[in-house]
Chain A
Amino acid sequence: MNFQLIGVNHNSAPIEVRERLAIPESRLPDAMRRLAEHPGVDEGLILCTCNRVEVLAQTKNGAADLRRFLREYFQLDPAQYEPHLYEYRESEAVRHLFRVAASLDSMVVGEPQILGQVKEAYATARAVGAVHSQLDLLLTRAFAVAKRVRTETAVGSSAVSVASVAVELAKKIFGSLQERHVYLVGAGKMSELAARHLVAHGAASIFVANRTHERAAQLAGKFNGQVILFEQLYETCDRADIVITSTGAPHAIFRREHGELFLSRRKNRPMFFIDIAVPRDVAPEMNDLDGIFVYDIDDLQQAVSTHVADRRREAERAEAIVQSEVERFQARVQTLDVVPTIVSLHDHLETIRQAEIDRVRSRLGPLSPEQEMAVETLTRGIVNKIMHTPISTLKTAAREPEATTVIDVVRRLFNLEEKKAARSGADRDQS
């Protein structure tokens, strides 16, 4: 495993730096191709979003100079961006990539777009052949980790703005917002925003009642809604499932008796009052009625801050998942690392065994099938006994950090070096 990652994100670098390093989508394939051809780089991938530019590489022996790649590619004064660069290697790089894909490194933690962006970068890199074996493994795992985080934690599931909380609550009450009617009482900016969110989530129609008629007409026009005279408010309000109030009235305009009236007209179908006005437009005791739900601006803001806290807590659980996945991935890659050594050790000893049998066969004269069998069994037995300890040591070491040292020792002891080079050369010719 020789992963290296270098980059800038919204935390490490201001926008001026990020925009200089941004690579337009049309030029990304070419950039990745050049990365893969950079000295010491086996495979490469570049992730470029508005919040980050990251270069990830699988290097031949951990010796690729990615800073040089950036210098050569961008031809910028390094002093402009190098102080903002972060650099990760090996498991740290793996962890970083997992965190990015799982949206734990995002500006808004849990936002869902980033995973799609990583997937796009992966598709581009595959298309130009910059990603084929080890990085392929790493990225596929990163997608699985992101999915695990999404399904096992609630990070990213809760709304973090007043308007989106309002939508979330409306959905908790009504399920789908299709066929639901929204009534705007008063025509403030905030209520317009909330209405816009509701409509975006499928709300059917908008009614607007405002003391000044022009403003109502103007707002209704934006949503293709219907203007209702303020005097008819109480007669018409039961048509709406969701009522957003934001008038400047000094006293509550909806009181308990109105709630009871609406409910009996609506056959007890629930109603959701979103009261953004201060002082409040909806009397708090309305919330005591079965089927009427009243949220004032404080309630909504309260919900927002709990959600933010929820996200933070869930993010911690997500970090734990990432940590365990990094360890799993490391173990897996290291096992993969020892496999070629085991194979070449086996090949090496088998070649010796065959050569020795061939050498003595002429001296032994013709052998009966039984004798042939006995020789075969004897030599195989010896070879297996000899191989047993190195192989089990390799397998145990695969799970430890010192894997590479053990691999080196075994290779040197059995003189496997040149054979490995020849083998990997052959592999490359085939692919």
Chain B
Amino acid sequence: MPLLWLRVALGCYAIGLLYALLALTQRSYLLNRIALPAMSLGMVFQFVSLTESVLAGEPVTITLVHNSESLLALLVMAAFMIVFLVYRTTSPGIVVFPLVFLLSFVAATGQQPLLTSPGLRRGWLVAHIALIFTGYAALFLSFAASLLYLVQERSLKSKKASGTLLRLPALEVIDEIGYRSLLLGFPFMTLGLIAGSIVAQTTYGRVNLLDPKIFLSLLMWAVYMVMVFTRWNAGWRGRRAAYLAAGAVLAAVIAWSANYFSAIHRFVQS
């Protein structure tokens, strides 16, 4: 059943994906109207899918690990919805919807080859996953905002009033969305990493800092911190902020993929 609901959610997200792809080239009245309801519906189904998985009897941690992409997609959507409620704009959807679709697609098609170890400290692991993923969601949203910032900035600089195709929010509003999600995401990311290191330490004892997973996670955190700092201190925005955000997202993706070749993140006692 959870997989069925996830696939239904994926169907809803596909509408959002279509909206995002078409938004750049043409205005579709119908899609504008249905994209947001479809995505909200997708969120509901995804939530149902996750809840059912959790209730299925396996320990929460293992469920969360097995459904991590789906969980991340849900959190990213939640972050998007918060922005929508505050700023009444769906523009970040242009970047967020495809990402959510992709994550759900991965979740619906493939199962991660993760095994579990009995010695894990469950509470810390749940905290680790939830915190890190919230941080990721905020980071993705910030990245989305910085891309939109570039588009809007370019259209303003080029002085071509092609405003009818894509109605982005004002430059300063986009900037605020990006900055706020960055600021909010940072504590989550930091606490998530701390929780993760506690899990690792209690499971494996001393941890090798050069393990790819740990190294890349720390790198990502460092880039994230540089971003927050430059933005706060020097007001970096626009192109420079976008590069940094892209760098942080890239680091996050690499850190994520390190799951597949790191010794410690496989949840196997070696």
Contact = CB atoms under 8 A, between A and B. Distances in A.
A44 B118 CA distance: 84
Given A172-B156, A173-B172, A290 B238 contact: yes
A310 B237 CA distance: 31
A245 to B, nearest CB: 17
A290 B235 CA distance: 12
B171 interface: yes
A112 interface: no
Contact of B156 (A158, A173, A266, A267): A173
B229 to A, nearest CB: 13
Contacts of A254: none
A310 B159 contact: no
A268 interface: yes
Given A291-B237, A310-B164, A299 B170 contact: no
B164 A314 contact: yes
Interface stretch (A81-89, A301-309, A356-364): A301-309
Interface string A298-323: 01001100110010001000000000
Contacts of A299: 159
A165 to B, nearest CB: 8
A19 interface: no
A290 B161 contact: no
Interface in B218-270: 234-240
Interface of A: 151-152, 154, 157-158, 169, 171-176, 266-270, 287, 290-291, 293, 295, 299, 302-303, 306-307, 310, 314
Contacts of A310: 161, 164
Contact of A158 (B161, B169, B173, B236): B161
Contacts of A291: 237-238
Contacts of A307: 161
B238 A175 contact: no
A352 to B, nearest CB: 51
- In this complex, which of A158, A266, A290 has the most chain B Cβ atoms within 10 angstroms of its Cβ? A290
30 contacts: A151-B29, A152-B29, A154-B164, A158-B161, A171-B170, A172-B170, A172-B171, A173-B170, A173-B172, A174-B170, A174-B172, A175-B169, A175-B171, A267-B235, A268-B235, A268-B236, A270-B171, A287-B157, A290-B237, A290-B239, A290-B240, A291-B238, A293-B157, A295-B159, A299-B159, A302-B159, A303-B159, A306-B160, A307-B161, A310-B161
Contacts of A267: 234-235
B180 to A, nearest CB: 14
A157 B161 CA distance: 12
A255 B160 CA distance: 23
A92 B16 CA distance: 41
B231 to A, nearest CB: 9
A373 B183 CA distance: 81
Contacts of A302: 159
Nearest to A298: B159
Contacts of A306: 160-161
A253 to B, nearest CB: 21
Rank and list the top 7 A-B pairs by shortest CB-CB distance, nearest first: A267-B235, A175-B170, A268-B235, A175-B173, A290-B238, A306-B161, A154-B164
Interface string B20-50: 0000000001000000000000000000000
Contact of B235 (A173, A266, A287): A266
A303 B159 CA distance: 8
Interface in B160-215: 160-161, 163-164, 169-173
A172 B159 CA distance: 12
B152 interface: yes
Nearest to A310: B164
A167 B92 CA distance: 25
Given A291-B237, A293-B157, A306-B160, 11 more contacts: A158-B164, A172-B171, A173-B170, A173-B172, A174-B170, A175-B169, A175-B171, A268-B237, A269-B235, A299-B159, A303-B161
Contacts of B173: 175
A271 B157 CA distance: 12
A315 B78 CA distance: 38
A311 B124 CA distance: 59
A304 to B, nearest CB: 9
B156 A293 contact: yes
B87 to A, nearest CB: 9
A283 B208 CA distance: 56
A290 B243 CA distance: 14
Contacts of A157: 164
Nearest to A269: B235
B163 A158 contact: yes
Contacts of B160: 306
A175 B172 contact: yes
Contacts of A171: 170
B75 to A, nearest CB: 27
Contacts of B169: 175
